[in-house]
Amino acid sequence: MHDKQLLKLLKQQQKILSKIALGQPLSEIGEEICLAIEDILEDKSAKCSILSLTGQNLFHCAAPSIDPKYCEIINGVEIGPSVGSCGTAAFRKSRVIVDDINSSPLWTDFKPIALKYGLESCWSTPIISTKSKVLGTFAVYHTKPRTPSEQDIELIDYFVHFSSIALEKDSNAYQLREVVKELKHSNDKFKAITEVMPDLVLILSEHGEYVDVYGDSEDLLYSSMIEMKGHNVNDILPAKDAQPIMAVIEKTLATNEIQVFEYELDVQKGHVVFEGRTASVEHYQSKNNSSRHVLWVARDITQRKFAEREIEKLAYYDPLTKLPNRRMLNERLDIAVEKIKRSGETGALLFLDIDDFKRLNDSLGHSSGDELLIEVTRRLGAITRKSDTLARLGGDEFVVLLEYIGDDNEQANIESSTVAQKINKVFDEEFKIGSLSFQISCSIGICLIEGSDITANNILKFADTAMYRSKAKGGNSFSFYDPQLQTLLDRKIELETEILKAIENEEFCAYFQPQVSTTGKIVGAEALIRWIHPIKGIISPCEFIPVAEQFGLIQRLQNVVLRDICKLLNSLNANLIDEDFKVSINISPSQFKSSSLKTELLNIIRHFNVSPTKITLEIIESMLAHDVEHTVQQMEELKSEGFTFSIDDFGTGYSCLTYLHAYPVKELKIDKSFIDRISDQESGLSIVKTIINLARNLKIEVIAEGVETEEQLNILKRCNIDSVQGYFFAKPMPMNEYIKWHKGF
CATH number, domain of 63, equals 3.30.450.40
- Is 488 domain-assigned? no
- Is 181 domain-assigned? no
248, 275, 307 — which closes off a domain?
307
N-to-C CA span, the chain = 156
Closest CA to 400 of 342, 494, 336: 336
Do residues 449 and 356 lie in contact, with contact meaning Cβ atoms separated by under 8 Å?
no
Closest CA to 400 of 360, 459, 453, 345: 459
Task: State the residue range of the domain holding 733.
Answer: 495-744
- Provide the pLDDT for residue 640: 94
Q: Which residues of 192-229 are buried (b: 16+ CB within 10 A; e: fewer)?
A: eebeeeebbbbbbbeebbbbbbbbeebebbbeeeeebe
Is residue 614 located within the same domain as residue 664?
A: yes
Is residue 278 located within the same domain as residue 374?
A: no
- Is 487 domain-assigned? no
Closest CA to 164 of 29, 54, 46, 7: 29
Question: How remote is the C-alpha of 485 from its chain's centroid?
Answer: 38
Q: What is the dihedral of CA 29, 30, 35, 36, to 10 degrees?
A: 60
Give every CB contact of residue 539 below 8 A, 6+ residues apart in sequence: 531, 533
The rounded distance, in Å, linking the Cα atoms of 312 and 341 is 29
CATH number at 388 reads 3.30.70.270
* The amino acid at 237: L
Closest CA to 225 of 233, 214, 236: 214
CATH number at 258 reads 3.30.450.20
263, 284, 307 — which closes off a domain?
307
Long-range contacts of range 713-719, CB-CB < 8 Å, 24 or more positions apart?
715/678, 715/679, 715/685, 716/518, 716/675, 716/678, 716/688, 717/518, 719/685, 719/688, 719/689, 719/692
Is residue 222 located within the same domain as residue 76?
A: no
Rounded to two decimals, the pTM is: 0.47
Q: Mark residue 552 as left, alpha or beta (left: phi above 0; alpha: psi -120 to 50; beta: remaining).
A: left
Burial (Cβ within 10 Å: 0-12, 13-18, ≥19) of residue 552? exposed
Q: What is the mean pLDDT of each run of 10 residues along the chain (745 residues)?
A: 54 61 73 80 84 89 90 92 91 92 92 91 88 87 90 80 74 61 62 64 86 72 72 85 89 90 84 87 70 85 81 82 92 90 89 87 80 93 91 93 81 85 90 82 91 85 90 84 69 84 94 94 95 91 85 89 95 84 90 84 94 93 72 90 90 60 88 88 82 89 94 92 95 94 89
The rounded distance, in Å, linking the Cα atoms of 397 and 373 is 10
Is residue 382 located within the same domain as residue 506?
A: no
Is residue 434 located within the same domain as residue 471?
A: yes
175, 207, 234 — which closes off a domain?
175
Helix (H, G, I), strand (E, B) or coil at 532: strand
- Provide the pLDDT for residue 36: 79
* The amino acid at 516: V
- Is 183 domain-assigned? no
The rounded distance, in Å, linking the Cα atoms of 563 and 321 is 42
- Is 404 domain-assigned? yes
Residue 709, phi then psi, degrees to nearest 5: -130, 160
Is residue 143 located within the same domain as residue 289?
A: no
- Provide the pLDDT for residue 7: 56
CB atoms under 10 Å from CB of 695, counted, come to: 22
CATH number at 639 reads 3.20.20.450
The DSSP element (H or E) to which 50 belongs, if any, is strand 47-54
Is residue 336 located within the same domain as residue 236?
A: no
- Is 55 domain-assigned? yes
The rounded distance, in Å, linking the Cα atoms of 604 and 201 is 72
- Is 84 domain-assigned? yes
Is residue 369 located within the same domain as residue 405?
A: yes
Residue 81, phi then psi, degrees to nearest 5: -75, -15
Give every CB contact of residue 403 below 8 A, 6+ residues apart in sequence: 336, 339, 340, 347, 387, 388, 389
Q: Domain count of the chain? A: 4
Question: What is the DSSP code string of 421-462?
Answer: HHHHHHTTSPEEETTEEE---EEEEEEEE-SSS--HHHHHHH
Instruction: Give Cα separations from 705 to 389, 582, 604, 655, 719 (angstroms).
Output: 53, 16, 28, 18, 15
Is residue 203 located within the same domain as residue 321?
A: no
Is residue 504 located within the same domain as residue 465?
A: no
Is residue 85 located within the same domain as residue 134?
A: yes
Paired residues of 324 in beta bridges: 317
- Is 186 domain-assigned? no
Is residue 334 located within the same domain as residue 472?
A: yes
The rounded distance, in Å, linking the Cα atoms of 40 and 65 is 14
Closest CA to 707 of 739, 668, 742, 674: 674
